[in-house]
Amino acid sequence: MRELTAAAQWLDGQVVVDWWANEMALWEDYSGRGPRYDAPEFPVLQTTGLVAGLECGLGWGLKPSQTTESFELRPISEVPEAQVIERRETSVNGIFRSRQLTELPVGRVRDVTVGFVHDIVTLDARIGGETLVSEIRCTVGGQPLVFLSGEAEEQQNDSLVFKRLDNAVLIFTDPTAVDTLPWSR
């Protein structure tokens, strides 16, 4: 757990110059018209992993990771420049598309905090005997960012329900939006 916390907090003080991700559609087949990646009523990005390109030439990565009982966030510090460059290719493959996340802020990172399970305050909450990294919060260029372990689940009526501790990284530029999403119980 200390290793994951240290990898997340390594980002504090770094300067982000760009963000790249493998974005996953919120809807696989929205009303029979194919994948849909965004909607104003759901202010969230869903990715299978992302890399922040840093001013120092390295990168910082974040991906979902399956544990024995669930999923958690796995931060990766000091991603080599070659891997950062490799991520910088735009492509589309079914419900996945690799792209630059220009909607995310750039600049100096501050105030990195790591949340475990569902409660950012309770550092030793347990699920199945494991402490899970459920969220990472920070400010970038003075703007808040929240990274959460979870996933959007498309319903038959084209609505979405969000599930925590699942196999995607959910990204919010408005921390209050986390509480406005329809979460499954």
Total domains, the chain: 1
> Is residue 185 included in any domain, yes or no?
no
Query: Looking at residues 69-90, what average pLDDT do you find?
Result: 76
Query: Looking at residues 19-48, what average pLDDT do you find?
Result: 89
Cα–Cα nearest to 53, from 97, 23, 83, 73: 83
Number of C-beta neighbours around residue 5 at 10 A: 17
> Is residue 128 included in any domain, yes or no?
yes
> Is residue 108 included in any domain, yes or no?
yes
> Is residue 103 included in any domain, yes or no?
yes
Q: Give me the pLDDT at residue 88, please.
A: 64
The predicted-structure confidence for 85-131, as pLDDT tens digits, reads as follows 566 666 777 899 889 999 999 999 999 999 886 433 334 444 445 67
Structure tokens at 175: 């921390």
DSSP helix/strand/coil, 21: strand
> Is residue 166 included in any domain, yes or no?
yes
Structure tokens at 101: 């996340």
Q: Give me the pLDDT at residue 120, please.
A: 38
Domain of 117, in residue numbers: 2-180
> Is residue 54 included in any domain, yes or no?
yes
Of 41-45, 85-89, 171-175, minimum mean pLDDT range: 85-89
> Is residue 176 included in any domain, yes or no?
yes
Instruction: Give the integer Cα–Cα distance in Å for 163 and 120.
Output: 17
Cα–Cα nearest to 37, from 27, 51, 50: 27
Query: Looking at residues 42-54, what average pLDDT do you find?
Result: 93
> Is residue 72 included in any domain, yes or no?
yes
Query: Looking at residues 43-72, what average pLDDT do you find?
Result: 90
Mean pLDDT over each residue of the chain, to the nearest integer: 86
